[in-house]
Amino acid sequence: MSKDAPERVVDDPNVAMQDSPEFAQLRSKFRKFVFPLTALFLAWYFLYVLLSVFAKDFMGTRVIGNVTWGLILGLLQFVSTFTITMVYARWADRVFDPEAEALARKMGGQQ
Amino acid sequence: MSALLTSAPSLVPSLAPAATTVGNPAINIGIFALFVVVTLAIVIRASRNNRSAAEYYAGGRAFTGRQNGIAIAGDYLSAASFLGIAGAIAINGYDGFLYSIGFLVAWLVALLLVAELLRNVGKYTMADVLSFRLRQRPVRIAAAISTLVVSFFYLLAQMAGAGGLVALLLGIEGALGQRLVIVVVGIIMIFYVIYGGMKGTTWVQIIKAVLLIIGAAIMTVWVLGKFGLNLSSLLGEATTASQDAGGKDLLQPGLQYKNPVDFISLSMALVLGTAGLPHVLMRFYTVPTSREARRSVVWAIWLIGIFYLFTLVLGFGAADLVGAKEIKNAPGGVNSAAPLLAFELGGEILLGIISAVAFATILAVVAGLTITASASLSHDIYNTVVKGGKATPEEEVKVARIAALVLGAIAIVGGIFALGQNIAFLVALAFAIAASANLPTILYSLFWKRFNTRGALWSIYGGLVSAITLIVFSPVVSGKAIDKVTGKSPSMLQGVDFHWFPLDNPGIISIPLGFVLGYIGTVTSKEYNAAKYAEMEVRSLTGHGAETATHH
Interface test with A, best of B76, B99, B112 (most A CBs within 10 A): B112
Q: Tell me if chain A has a CB within 8 Å of the CB of B229.
A: no
Q: Tell me if chain A has a CB within 8 Å of the CB of B301.
A: yes
How distant is the Cα of B430 from the closest Cα of chain A, in angstroms?
Answer: 20
Nearest residue in A to B266, CA atom: A49
Q: Which residues of B touch A60 (CB under 8 A)?
A: 94, 249, 251-253
Cβ of A56 within 8 Å of Cβ of B301? The answer is no
Please compute the mean of the pLDDT values over residues B299-318 and round it to a whole number: 95
Nearest residue in B to A29, CA atom: B541
Cβ of B543 within 8 Å of Cβ of A110? The answer is no
Cβ of A85 within 8 Å of Cβ of B298? The answer is yes
How distant is the Cα of B535 from the closest Cα of chain A, in angstroms?
Answer: 5
Q: In terms of Cα–Cα distance, which of B290, B111, B100 is closest to A85? A: B111
Residue B11: what pLDDT? 32
Interface test with B, best of A28, A33, A38, A45 (most B CBs within 10 A): A45
Residue B173, pLDDT > 80, answer: no
How distant is the Cα of A2 from the closest Cα of chain B, in angstroms?
Answer: 16
Cβ of B112 within 8 Å of Cβ of A38? The answer is yes
- Give CA–CA dist B9/B291, Å, rounded: 54
Residue A109: what pLDDT? 55
- Give CA–CA dist B146/B432, Å, rounded: 12
Question: Which of A53, A78, A82 is the closest to B260 by Cβ?
Answer: A53
Residue B54 region, left (φ>0) first, then alpha (ψ -120 to 50), else beta? alpha
pLDDT digits (tens, 9 = 90+) for B335-345: 788 989 999 99
Burial class (CB in 10 A: 0-12, 13-18, 19+), B197: buried
Cβ of B254 within 8 Å of Cβ of A53? The answer is yes
Burial class (CB in 10 A: 0-12, 13-18, 19+), B494: exposed
Three-class SS state of B149 = helix
Interface of B with A in 428-457 (CB under 8 A): 447
- Give CA–CA dist B337/B89, Å, rounded: 9
DSSP B303-330: HHHHHHHHHHHHHHHHHHHT-HHHHHHS
Q: Which residues of B touch A14 (CB under 8 A)?
A: 531, 534-535, 538-539
pLDDT digits (tens, 9 = 90+) for B22-47: 667 788 778 888 888 988 888 888 77
B251 or B81: which leads in pLDDT: B251
Q: Which residues of A touch B235 (CB under 8 A)?
A: 65-67, 71
Q: Which residues of A touch B315 (CB under 8 A)?
A: none
User: Are the beta carbons of B518 and B458 closer than 8 angstroms?
Assistant: yes
Interface test with B, best of A7, A30, A53 (most B CBs within 10 A): A53
User: Are the beta carbons of B443 and A34 closer than 8 angstroms?
Assistant: no
A–B interface: beta-carbon pairs under 8 A: 167
Query: How many C-beta atoms surround the C-beta of residue B141 within 10 A?
Result: 18
Cβ of A45 within 8 Å of Cβ of B104? The answer is no
Under CATH, domain B2-45+65-426 is a member of which superfamily?
A: Sodium/glucose cotransporter (1.20.1730.10)
Cβ of B541 within 8 Å of Cβ of A26? The answer is yes
Residue B18: what pLDDT? 39
A64 forms beta bridges with A67
Residue B19: what pLDDT? 40
Q: Tell me if chain A has a CB within 8 Å of the CB of B326.
A: no
- A62 φ, ψ to 5°? -80, 130
Question: Which of B239, B267, B538 is the closest to A23 by Cβ?
Answer: B538
pLDDT digits (tens, 9 = 90+) for B115-171: 999 999 988 999 999 999 999 899 999 999 999 999 988 888 787 777 667 666 766
Nearest residue in A to B544, CA atom: A104
Burial class (CB in 10 A: 0-12, 13-18, 19+), B425: buried
How distant is the Cα of B549 from the closest Cα of chain A, in angstroms?
Answer: 11
Half-sphere exposure of B151 (CA within 13 A, CB side): 32
What is the longest distance spanned by two Cα atoms in chain B?
A: 74
Interface test with A, best of B85, B101, B527, B537 (most A CBs within 10 A): B101
- Give CA–CA dist B520/B55, Å, rounded: 39
Burial class (CB in 10 A: 0-12, 13-18, 19+), A108: exposed
- Residue B512's contacts (CB-CB under 8 Å, 6 or more residues apart) are none
Residue B496: what pLDDT? 84
Q: Which of B76-80, B92-96, B268-272 is least confident?
A: B76-80
Residue B433: what pLDDT? 93
User: Are the beta carbons of A15 and B530 closer than 8 angstroms?
Assistant: yes
Interface of B with A in 114-133 (CB under 8 A): 116
ipTM value: 0.90
Q: Which of B49-63, B196-210, B225-239, B307-321 is least confident?
A: B49-63
- Give CA–CA dist B161/B468, Å, rounded: 22
- Give CA–CA dist B147/B375, Å, rounded: 10
Residue B174: what pLDDT? 64
Residue B356, pLDDT > 90, answer: no
How distant is the Cα of B543 from the closest Cα of chain A, in angstroms?
Answer: 7
Cβ of B108 within 8 Å of Cβ of A81? The answer is yes
Residue A10: what pLDDT? 59
Residue B223, pLDDT > 60, answer: yes
- Give CA–CA dist B331/B6, Å, rounded: 17
Please compute the mean of the pLDDT values over residues B265-273 and round it to a whole number: 93
Query: For all residues of chain B together, what is the average pLDDT?
Result: 85
pLDDT digits (tens, 9 = 90+) for B241-254: 888 877 778 888 88
Cβ of B542 within 8 Å of Cβ of A100? The answer is yes
Question: Which of B260, B305, B548 is the closest to A81 by Cβ?
Answer: B305
Nearest residue in B to A100, CA atom: B542
Q: Which residues of B touch A53 (CB under 8 A)?
A: 253-254, 257, 260, 263-264
Q: In terms of Cα–Cα distance, which of B276, B334, B300, B306 is closest to B118? A: B276
pLDDT digits (tens, 9 = 90+) for B359-374: 888 888 888 999 999 9
Cβ of A56 within 8 Å of Cβ of B308? The answer is no
Interface test with A, best of B121, B296, B542 (most A CBs within 10 A): B542
Interface of B with A in 174-213 (CB under 8 A): none
Q: Tell me if chain A has a CB within 8 Å of the CB of B90.
A: no
pLDDT digits (tens, 9 = 90+) for B388-400: 888 888 888 999 9
10-residue mean pLDDT profile of chain A (111 residues): values are 47 87 94 96 96 90 90 96 97 94 80 42
Domain extent listing, chain B: 2-45+65-426
- Give CA–CA dist A94/B366, Å, rounded: 37
User: Are the beta carbons of B57 and B63 closer than 8 angstroms?
Assistant: no
